Amino acid sequence: MACLPVLVKPTSALCNLSCPYCFYHDRLSDPYAGVPRRIMSEPVLESFVSQYLRTCEGGTASFCWQGGEPLMAGLEFFVKVVSLQMKHGRGGQKVANSVQTNGVLVDERWAEFFKEYNFFVGLSLDGPEDLHDLHRRFPDGRGSFGKVMRAAEILRSYDVPFNVLSVVTRRAQEEARRIYEFFVSEEFRYLQFIPCVEPDPRLAVTPEGYGNFLCELFDLWYDDGWPKVSIRFFDNLLQAYLGLRPDSCSLQERCGVYFVVEYNGDLYPCDFFVEDGWFLGNLLKAPLEEILGGPKFREFSELKFGPFPECEDCPWAWVCHNGCPRLRHVSQGREYLCPAYRKFFPYADSRLRDLAERMGKVKRVKKLLDSGAYRGVGRNDPCPCGSGRKFKKCCMPYVQRLEGYDPFGTYLLV
């Protein structure tokens, strides 16, 4: 079977913050709501790691540790994770670990561990202090902004790679410029924005407001045609425009591109569907391969197939593939953010096409640069790429950026 990425929840929904917009906050469908302590036991952990590594013998075993707050499992838990991966991994097998954290518990010991074992870290930060602390608070009401910024400082000091995940709320959807400029001023170059779609109208984005947010954010990101900051949604769209499969499951043709392991070994097809109706099985009671090969997981993988009459003639269905089933779940029918995307996709289309074409050219220029073809070429000389144009009017801007003449560069070329 294919080696699917896995989202592991060693603490389930347990967290040391009390964010009102949290997807897990007082969720009636939470199958573990009555369980006071949810920490993955060593027998469950070892059974999971050993079985998962066996299913991934031909690919990269991608562990994404999430919560709640996964660091509440403790540093010794993650030391055990790495130990078990080494114990059960085959010679030469590729393993990748990432962890999504609110940053509150990150200190030098954690950073040293992340660096030593090549963990990628996702850090939750909603923007400037007033916006962040509006929702990301401790149970006693204190804001967590200072703790998160300190976590970012520590991660940088240990050279731990990380990105920033920001939740877009009804308030934040009006603040695209301020949020973006804050992140740029703090030199956060890898960003991810998640729209809040919880039922509370005081928190959830509106389709119109989120569409406006995406358009303004795109203008800021696009800059002069050389984006210098990675924004995951825009990067994923570029993948689609290049004919590649986007990383984001919401832009893929089908669901079931990853699975979830809860603290007790229960399996679900998606973190938004951790509910009794989509329980797949428990890896202590049935083999992992058998569970993932079962009819329930196949049924889930087809949720995007429809039929959805409103999508049949949409010119953007090739991008979103009928949207995310979770957002149909929220709005009891039509994908909740569909109006936002119908506004944004045509707004950004021509520039995305231009960027996709440019990225193809970057690859060709890089190949020629590595071969030495541009060495000694003058501004007004014919371009070595064979276009017939002068170097300065053709490949020169690409060569300058690839050679580092641009002091800030662009992540698209990295």
b/e 241-259 (16+ beta carbons within 10 angstroms → b): beeeebebbbbbeebbbeb
Residue in 130, 112, 143, 106 with CA at minimum distance from that of residue 18: 143
Q: Is the peptide bond before 89 cis (omega within 30 degrees of 0)?
A: no
Residue for token pair 């440019």: 358
Amino acid letter for position 285: K
Q: What does the alpha-carbon distance between residue 163 and residue 230 come to, in Å, rounded to a whole number?
A: 9
* Distances in whole angstroms, Cα of residue 210 to Cα of each of 188, 318, 323, 402: 22, 21, 15, 35
* Strand 259-261 with 61-65, pairing: unpaired
Q: Residue 123 pairs with which residues in a beta bridge?
A: 101, 164
Active site residue 271: yes
Give the other-Cβ count within 10 Å of 342's Cβ: 16
Residues 140, 200, 224, 271: which is the catalytic one? 271
Give CA–CA dist 113/108, Å, rounded.
9
Q: What is the DSSP letter of 372?
A: T
Q: How far apart are CA 268 and CA 274, in angstroms?
A: 6
> What's the number of CA atoms in the CB half-sphere (13 Å) around residue 332?
1
Q: Which residues on neighbouring strands pair with residue 190, listed in sequence order? A: 230
Residues forming the active site? 271
